[in-house]
Chains A and B, each alone.
Chain A
Amino acid sequence: MFDEKDLLIEARHVTRRFPTNDGRLLTACNDVNLKFYKGKTLGIVGESGCGKSTFMRFMVWLDTPTEGEIFFHGKDITKMKGAELHENRQHIQMVFQDPSTSFNPKMKIKEIVCEPLLNFNRISSSEVDAKARELLELVELPGDFADRYPHNMSGGQRQRVAIARAIALEPEFIVMDEATSALDVSVQKTVIELITRLQREKNIAIGFIAHDLGLIESFAHQVAVMYLGNIVEVMPGEGLSDICCHPYSRALLNSVFDLKMDFSQKIKAIEGEPPSPLDLPQGCPFSNRCPDCVDDCHHTKPTLTEVAPGHLVACHCCAR
């Protein structure tokens, strides 16, 4: 679906297991294969605890996978160390969910946005004022904010500062972990507009974690749905609501309260909660909640199968 020469990051068979106190293993990510392309957004959706943040944290070296490789420009980033790792950090940046806790409260905004630049000796300390103004204006904030402290700003403004900090090094890839879920809808809209504009201008690849399918559909080029550490569906973002076919994706979609929905209909929510990742069901991870579950689902785990160009599904029923 995308041009393979624009391939930027490729995760191959990435698995992460955490040992628990009683000696068992918790599988947070199970054999995840995903590709990120230049200038494109990959949205990852799923319920809390499905492993979407765990996976994205590998990209910024906040954690390393137990198994598997992540290739960035043909090099496995999970094996990088020392100077090479330091050098590569500037190409991949991150925006966190809660803008009120992702800054040092005692640093001024100009120090916050320019810290990455100073770390990599891109500017000298005498240039901080001018550069901070420039970066703030890029994210549509007044340049005077440079001398403020984070607590003097609203949530939306702080998230813009977080974006300014992330783009300061002109990275090729930005991870956004629920970057808009702490914001009001009207603010969320302007932040999404900002992100997509910067992406167009600077050709940045974005990995965006969300749980709102309506939001992700509005700006992602591809969307991956995760459930219990497994990717269950990968599809193009455009027209997602018409093409998604995995029962879990459909369940997520049916749970969205849309302004255009028929309010007289009962909302179709799937029952129950995901099973504990400590004892995964045999076969399909979704089998115990799935409305279309067949006998096969309890025994064999479905693998991702291509049903249309750029559309992969791991489901016994859909693949047929």
Chain B
Amino acid sequence: MSLLEIKDVDISYGKNLTVKKVSMSLEKGEICSIVGESGSGKTTVIRAAMGLLPGGGRVSAGSITYDGMDLLGLTHEQWRELRGHDISMIFQDSGAMMNQTRLIGDSYVEYIRTHEDISKEDAWAKGIEMIERMRLPDGDRIMRSYPFQLSGGQRQRVGIAMGMTYQPKLLLADEPTSALDVTTQAQIVRQFMELRDEYGTSIIIVTHNLGVAAYMGDKIVVMKHGEVVDRGEREYILHESTNPYTKLLLDAVPTLGGKRYV
């Protein structure tokens, strides 16, 4: 049985059908990349899997199951149990998901104590341990900082540390490196790969960077206008696929030592 199974899912905002008949499945320890241009519905799909569709959005057809459990029928209580514990999400800018007027440590402690019955001191120590495991030196200083005092790469590492606190089986990452410099992006991607190797975490990464998608993904799903237009193993997508849209996207990526325009 797959860890996550998305089957013929339609998602609509009001009367507008934005995502049509999307299906995909993810095994344990597998990484799947979803690529596509802005507005192709790639973020909407993983938000649906997290039960986090923004106001007015709903899954109007199909089913999403996680570990055999129907996610669409969950109550708020059940979602709270699951989110941040079994399924975590990393956003494009992890700093933005935190309260700007509270210390990172305070947000972190609150998060830990929602899921676990421990003292504030222990939660604080756990936060430091996770942050340092994500290769951020001086975890205590990070915990005592406000989100805006950290660089983009540091914030993203804190986001990953938070998401990985309970070693979720499934990590959903929405453009986690798009706001970062190339060097920081490489560091974060390496961190994701290590999570998979160490903890066997399954990851869905949504990105418009085809290089990152190809490097990380065992499987790649190509979306366009709310539909899956192509899917397959990485090698198939990169070299064998005959889908014109996949080819167009691949062709547009500048490669080192590739085509020159001048």
Contacts and interface: CB of A to CB of B under 8 A. Distances in A.
Interface string B241-262: 0000000111111111111111
A281 interface: no
A295 B182 CA distance: 28
B37 A263 contact: no
Nearest to B182: A255
Most buried by A among B183, B214, B251, B259: B183
Contacts of A186: 37, 248-249, 252
Given A185-B210, A259-B250, A263-B234, A269 B258 contact: no
| Interface SS, B side | helix
Given A211-B182, A215-B254, A184 B37 contact: yes
Given A255-B186, A266-B190, A267-B189, A241 B181 contact: no
Interface string A213-246: 1110111110000000000000000111110000
Nearest to B239: A259
A129 interface: no
A211 B37 CA distance: 20
Contacts of B185: 255, 257
Interface residues of A, number: 49
A212 B182 contact: yes
Contacts of B208: 184-185
The range of chain B's interface size is 35 or more
Interface in A253-278: 253-261, 263, 266-271, 273
A34 B151 CA distance: 29
A211 B181 contact: yes
A93 interface: no
Contacts of A221: 262
A41 interface: yes
B68 interface: no
Interface stretch (A112-120, A164-172, A187-195): A187-195
29 contacts: A47-B181, A48-B152, A155-B38, A184-B37, A184-B38, A184-B208, A185-B37, A185-B252, A186-B37, A214-B256, A214-B258, A217-B256, A217-B257, A217-B258, A241-B257, A255-B182, A256-B182, A257-B189, A257-B209, A257-B215, A259-B238, A259-B255, A260-B255, A263-B215, A263-B234, A266-B190, A267-B189, A270-B183, A271-B187
Given A186-B37, A217-B256, 4 more contacts: A199-B262, A242-B257, A259-B238, A273-B184
Interface of B: 37-38, 151-154, 181-187, 189-190, 193, 208-212, 214-215, 234, 238, 248-262
